[in-house]
Amino acid sequence: QVQLVESGGGLVQAGGSLRLSCAASGSIFSINTMGWYRQTPGKQRELVATITSGGSANYLDSVKGRFTVSRDNAKNTVSLQMISLKPEDTAVYYCNARIKTTWDEREYPYWGQGTQVTVSS
């Protein structure tokens, strides 16, 4: 079974930086789009950044210019470099990947468990 494991969350002061990483493992045949979503209490999960298998990225407007998403196809990893963090960036961040497994060629979304990012002022 496919698993996504996230790391890099934590507490940071406003204006600081964090780098989130996510590694996919298991019976993976291919990975299409990967990305990051975030959620705060009382709000729906929102897309933060996505990146296609070819490296084309898309971002939430409020993070453009501050966040950079990247991936390493050889390692099945996706990262989110976050700079100039603001208190409103505080949320649980979830890794997402659309994956075809070796035993089922249909593409399914997989999710990590989430990692807390807290930005203090």
Q: What are phi and psi of 14, to 5 degrees?
A: -55, 135
Work out the percent of the chain whose per-residue pLDDT is above 90: 97
Please list the residues that pair with 37 across neighbouring strands.
Answer: 47, 94
Written as tens digits, the pLDDT of the chain (121 aa) is 899 999 999 999 999 999 999 999 999 999 999 999 999 988 999 999 999 999 999 999 999 999 999 999 999 999 999 999 999 999 999 999 999 999 998 999 999 999 999 999 9
Amino acid letter, residue 20? L
pLDDT of 67 reads 98
